[in-house]
Amino acid sequence: MDPRILLFVIFGLGLIAAVPLERHLSRYYLSLPIVYVAAGFLLFSLPLDLPQFNPARDGFDALTLEYVTEFIVIASLMAAGLSIDRPVSWPNWRQVVPLLVLAMPATIAAVALLGWWALGLAPASAILLGAALAPTDPVLARSVQVGPPGEGERHDVRFSLTAEAGLNDGLAFPFTYLAIAAAGMTALGTWTLEWFAFDFVYRIVAGCAMGFAVGRAGAWYVFEREADASREEMEGDEPVYSTSEGLIVLGTLLLAYGAAELVEGYGFLAVFVGALTARQRENASRYHRISHHFIDQIEQIVLVAVLLGFGAMLASGVLYNLTWAGAGIALLLIFVIRPLAGIVAEGFTRLPLSGKAAIAFLGVRGMGSIYYLAYGQNQGDFAQLGILWAIVSFAILVSVVVHGVVSGPLILLVERRGSHIHRGSDASLPALSPGHSRAKE
């Protein structure tokens, strides 16, 4: 049997089964990633001559992983940005700031120090390990994020996890660049100041600015220009949107990412900020639901391939270099480092303790970690890559299983206790920032 044709069959069956399987698994508080990673592992372990896939051994596999995971993270970030109903203002978003400025740097430092001390990693490799494992994942954290746009219910736990995953995937990049720069250096010097000024400050500002500009332009194109073009086709008081709007959504997504990267800003930040900016306009329009549904479908298609591919990586021996110390670092990250850093960070919010604990524990690791490690491997000369891939893969595997099983019951418990809303807050969301509805004139 031709392995290439067999891959088509496996992928096709995976796509067909994804939606009904996800609904069925939710009844038992299981997640789709658990099943698909297991399926990928079993299928690629069978004597079917399917290709081996191990980025620790093959540079082409690492390059393929970088491109595939790059796209799925982009799609997930846009879906996350479009799904957030909350207006952008300091009072509404300040609860996310401690997770970004306290929890994530603390996680990077802790993992890097453990890698250097317990495994003897070179400083650059240790920093890369910390940068790869620090960000929570917008791809595999779907079950703990806010729902489709327009739900109108306040849920501070889900909002914090969604916003954190949307922003820290971009904010982890400066530390990836720090690792790449450190790989060619033997001592501290002016290069660290250059890294801070350019990779940390300029790239973040440029990414946010480009995302905001593209988001505003995309919102104008849809809600001003297209509303006029659709005025003759009205359904109630709204224009009738067609499936062609999906082209606008995908085009805006790619434009935001590409434009930010052209000016050397962070494209991931640009995508999330752009989607968030567009979401603030015409908040009552069902166009946002259409956009979210379209990008969610794209994300699910790529997700099936990536999950099966991750199972193939496990079957191909990516964990071969895993030691007890390396496994210990991954377990400490999931069960100690992230929960402690999250609890400290959430101490600055008004959530009840169980709500804080849920946010602290549900720091899902996933495709973003694979992307950052693959990107670092392809851009720099790092030692001990086999160990890095083994630790990152094991951490993702543990996160897929543990968070996949625990997240549903934990969120349900928090909701039953009423701990998902800040003390003294109303259960409904404040109105989104205004967008004048041309369709209702």
What separation in angstroms does the CA of 273 have from each of 88, 119, 208, 260?
10, 38, 6, 11
The per-residue pLDDT for range 17-47, each reduced to its tens digit, is: 888 887 787 777 778 889 999 999 999 999 8
- More confident: 335 or 141: 335
The per-residue pLDDT for range 168-224, each reduced to its tens digit, is: 877 789 999 999 988 877 666 678 889 999 999 999 999 999 999 998 888 777 766
pLDDT score, position 298:
85
Map out the domains of the chain with their CATH numbers.
3-421 (1.20.1530.20)
320: Cβ–Cβ under 8 A, 6 or more apart, which residues? 56, 386, 390
- More confident: 52 or 239: 52
- Provide the pLDDT confidence category of residue 321 given band limits of 50, 70 and 90: very high
- Provide the pLDDT confidence category of residue 436 given band limits of 50, 70 and 90: very low
pLDDT at 407 over 70: yes
Q: What token pair was written down for 152?
A: 């109108």
pLDDT score, position 232:
46
Q: Pick from 297, 246, 275: which is nearest to 72 by CA?
A: 297
Q: Pick from 84, 7, 40, 61: which is nearest to 433 by CA?
A: 84
pLDDT score, position 372:
95
- More confident: 382 or 191: 382
The per-residue pLDDT for range 266-288, each reduced to its tens digit, is: 999 999 999 888 877 766 566 66
Q: Pick from 305, 290, 365, 217: which is nearest to 8 by CA?
A: 305
What separation in angstroms does the CA of 243 have from each of 37, 100, 291, 294?
32, 37, 10, 9
pTM of the model: 0.89
For the ranges 154-158, 202-206, 231-235, 325-329, the lowest mean pLDDT is seen at 231-235
The per-residue pLDDT for range 88-113, each reduced to its tens digit, is: 888 888 889 999 999 999 999 999 99
pLDDT score, position 186:
60
- Provide the pLDDT confidence category of residue 435 given band limits of 50, 70 and 90: very low
Tell me how crowded residue 223 is: count the other CB atoms within 10 A of its CB.
21
pLDDT score, position 322:
95
Residues linked to residue 238 through DSSP beta bridges, in sequence order: 235
Calculate what percentage of the chain has a pLDDT beyond 90.
45
pLDDT score, position 433:
44
Length of the chain: 441
pLDDT score, position 297:
84
- Provide the pLDDT confidence category of residue 256 given band limits of 50, 70 and 90: very high
- Provide the pLDDT confidence category of residue 349 given band limits of 50, 70 and 90: confident
**How much is the mean pLDDT over the chain?**
84
